[in-house]
């Protein structure tokens, strides 16, 4: 039986421990093909590089597989992997991560990890983004790797729409304390922004963005609630941003001219 | 009566003709406050700047209003405008654009213009993104400016949810040929990517992203169809990416452990 071909991308960069963990998970199941940013690209959202060229270099620190680093964004990684470096490979799945830090709730919007997964699903490759709710570079990926392998096997074993896009978040817990998997919706939340002002030697100000995650609801069916209760959250996601319930509400605009 | 306070942002940068057109539209209605990137930032999606500081400088080439340029992304512009430069202003509306080029269909995902509008709506400021389907810097903004003013007046005159987010695209037509406004859903589409390979003097390759817009459906209720028939498209949009209809479909995952 042919082994499945699995594209591996991330947003924390080619040297992040999270991508090494994901490669280990994939190796037990299929053939990994890696393309990751050459530097951390957290918070890049769905950015693409159109005003600059993109540089790609093969890397050799992973053994027994093909891997490249790319000067572009996580979404660029998917595009150039699919259309240049791995253009002859027919991918069965794309996995992104394992991200260092949560991409639950509104974080999906800012996340390079999830945007890379979304880009793959837009191109017809089923995709799963994995995130561990621990931003540390020394995070313990044991549970995350175990469950990533499980979800990858599941995804490959099932018939589903080519547009499959799952946002999987794993709580920061020892594997024996994880209660299971919950399928949920994206929790309503935002960031309470703040900026740290610094003066340069000429007395001119510049600003570092900081912020605090704020949850706008207490509800049982959200990803945030699942994670808070020790479950892995799985949010089936999509790229249609239409507010469908609002279509009729705005219809009268058509007669306003 | 107090004039409404309107935040103006874009992704083509502080010098783009499209933002000057939008300022003209706003001046007739309320008090404009401008914050725009100091260079073109098309395709930045929902990227934010967290690994570098953000620089902001006041600019004076618009008369009779406050305006700043910012080294960050379009989303950064909204955050820093709201939390630093204009922190004492209570905004009634945020308008983004007028973008040089369409943000209909899947383009909303990659668009800095629409991500800036989305960020404002996330922060509780009703927001509208305007795009003219003409990428030229010499584009004729007459019709776009007229309809932007109309939509801004409409938005200020109506009660609506704070989360209002509209994606407005204006066809490249003389004003007298525009047939009216259609409220539509985001058309299903993608980009067929290609990369142009160039060699540097050392013989190493680098790549420029190119691509071709591909429509995946022929349907009457999409933004693409409205634009093709001479209408302005209005897509009520949102930031919940949950694929709600798929939640039940994946429920069995919860029992798979």
A78-87 residue pLDDT tens: 999 999 999 9
Phi, psi of B81 (to 5 degrees): -60, -50
Q: Are A242 and B237 in contact (CB under 8 A)?
A: yes
Sign of the Cα pseudo-torsion (B179, B184, B186, B189, in order):
negative
Cross-chain CB nearest to B122 (options A190, A208, A243): A190
Q: Is residue A252 part of a domain?
A: no
User: Which among B38, B78, B28 has a CA at the least distance from the CA of B58?
Assistant: B38
Contact B84 A207 (CB under 8 A): yes
How far apart are alpha carbons B141 and B134 in whole angstroms?
Answer: 9
- DSSP classification of residue A182: E
Work out the end-to-end distance of chain B between its first and last CA atoms, rounded to an integer number of angstroms: 62
B189: left (phi over 0), alpha (psi -120 to 50) or beta: beta
Residues of A in contact with B209 (CB under 8 A): 48-50, 54, 76, 79-80
| pLDDT (tens digit per residue) in B61-113 | 999 999 999 999 999 999 999 999 999 999 999 999 999 999 999 999 999 99
Percent of chain B with pLDDT over 90: 80
B50 and A56 within 8 Å at the Cβ level: the answer is no
> Domain for residue B177, yes or no?
yes
Provide the mean pLDDT of chain B.
Answer: 93
- What pLDDT does residue B256 have? 64
* Number of structural domains in chain A: 1
What percentage of chain B reaches a pLDDT higher than 70? Answer: 97
Of the listed ranges A236-250, B120-134, B136-150, B204-218, the least confidently predicted one is A236-250
In a domain, B209, yes or no: no
Domain-located, residue A146: yes
Is the Cβ–Cβ distance between A192 and B124 less than 8 Å?
no
**Considering only CB atoms, which chain B residues are within 8 Å of A242?**
185-186, 235-238
Q: What is the CATH number of the domain that holds A88?
A: 3.40.1210.10
Are A194 and B46 in contact (CB < 8 Å)? no
Vertex A124: Cα angle to A113 and A189 (nearest 5): 35
User: Domain range spanning residue B160?
Assistant: 5-186+220-240
Q: Which is it for strands B66-70 and B31-37: parallel, antiparallel or unpaired?
A: parallel
Enter the DSSP assignment of A156.
H
B251 confidence band (pLDDT: 50, 70, 90)? confident
Q: What is the pLDDT of residue B245?
A: 83
Task: Give the E-state strand segments of chain A in sequence order.
Answer: 5-9, 31-37, 56-58, 66-70, 93-100, 127-132, 165-170, 180-183, 189-199, 205-215, 231-236
The pLDDT of residue B42: 87
Nearest-by-CA chain A residue for B12: A51
Which pLDDT value is given to residue B247? 86
Backbone angles phi and psi of A4, in degrees to 5: -70, 145
Q: Where are the alpha helices (DSSP H) in chain A?
A: 17-27, 74-80, 107-110, 112-122, 142-157, 223-228
Q: Which of B46, B166, B180 sits opposite A110 (nearest CB)?
A: B46
Partners of residue B233 in chain A, C-beta under 8 Å: none
Note whether residue A198 is domain-resident. Answer: no
Res. B29 pLDDT band, cuts 50 70 90: very high
Task: Give Cα separations from B191 to A33, B40, B211 (angstroms).
Answer: 23, 21, 6
Strand pairing category for B5-9 and B56-58: unpaired
A109 within some domain: yes
Which of A109, A195, A234 lies closest to B83 in CB terms? A195
Please indicate whether, in this complex, the C-beta atoms of B243 and A165 are within 8 angstroms of each other. yes
CB crowding B195-224: b at 16 or more within 10 Å, else e: beeeeeeeeeebbebeeeeebeeeeeebbb
Predicted pLDDT at A161 = 61
Comparing alpha-carbon positions, the chain B residue that sits nearest to A254 is B181
Instruction: Read off the pLDDT of residues A166-211 as tens digits, 9 standing for 90 and up.
Output: 999 999 999 999 999 999 999 999 898 889 999 999 999 999 999 8
Task: Answer whether residue B193 is part of any domain.
Answer: no
Full DSSP string of chain B: -PPPEEEEE-SS-TT-HHHHHHHHHHHTTSEEEEEEESS--TT-TT----SS-B-EEE--SSSSSEEEEESS-HHHHHHHIIIIITTT---SEEEEEEEES---TTHHHH-HHHHHHHHHHHTT--EEEEEES---TT---HHHHHHHHHHHHHHHHS---TT-EEEEEE-SS-GGG--EEEE-BPPPEEEEEEEEEEE-TTS-EEEEEEEEEEE----TTBHHHHHHTTEEEEEEB-S--B-GGGTTTTGGGGG--
Low-confidence spans in chain A with pLDDT less than 70: 1, 159-163, 256-257
Q: Is the pLDDT of residue B162 over 70?
A: no
Tokens of A115: 């945007």
How many CB atoms lie under 10 A from the CB of residue B22?
A: 29
Whether A236 and B246 lie within 8 Å, measured CB to CB: yes
Does residue B207 belong to any structural domain of this protein?
A: no
Output the CA angle B19-B24-B25, nearest 5 degrees: 95
pTM (predicted TM-score): 0.93
pLDDT of residue B161: 60
CB B56 within 8 A of CB B85: yes
Q: Strand, helix or coil at A103?
A: coil
Q: For residues B77 and A244, give the distance between their C-alpha atoms in angstroms, rounded to a whole number.
A: 28
């Amino acid at each position: 039986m042919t082994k499945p071909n699995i594209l591996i991308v991330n947003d924390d960069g080619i040297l992040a421990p999270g991508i090494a963990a994901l490669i280990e998970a994939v190796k037990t199941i299929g053939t990994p093909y890696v393309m990751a940013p050459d530097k951390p690209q957290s918070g890049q959202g769905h950015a693409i590089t159109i005003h600059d060229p993109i540089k790609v270099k093969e890397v050799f620190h992973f053994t027994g597989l093909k891997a490249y680093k790319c000067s572009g964004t996580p979404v660029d990684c998917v595009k150039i992997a699919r259309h240049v470096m791995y253009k002859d490979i027919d991918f069965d799945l794309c996995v992104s991560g394992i991200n260092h830090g949560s991409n639950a709730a509104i974080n999906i919007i800012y996340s390079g990890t999830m945007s890379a997964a979304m880009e793959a699903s837009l191109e017809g490759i089923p995709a799963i983004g994995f995130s561990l709710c621990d931003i540390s570079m020394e995070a313990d990926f044991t549970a995350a790797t175990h469950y990533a392998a499980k979800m990858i096997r599941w995804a490959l074993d099932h018939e589903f729409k080519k547009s499959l896009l799952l946002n999987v978040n794993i709580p920061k817990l020892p594997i024996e304390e994880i209660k299971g998997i919950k399928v949920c919706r994206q929790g309503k939340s935002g960031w309470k922004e703040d900026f740290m002002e610094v003066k340069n030697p000429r007395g001119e100000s510049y600003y570092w963005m900081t912020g605090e995650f704020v949850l706008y609801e207490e509800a049982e069916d959200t990803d945030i609630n699942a994670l808070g209760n020790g479950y892995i959250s799985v949010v089936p996601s999509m790229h249609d941003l239409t507010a469908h319930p609002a279509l009729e509400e705005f219809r009268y605009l058509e007669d306003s001219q």
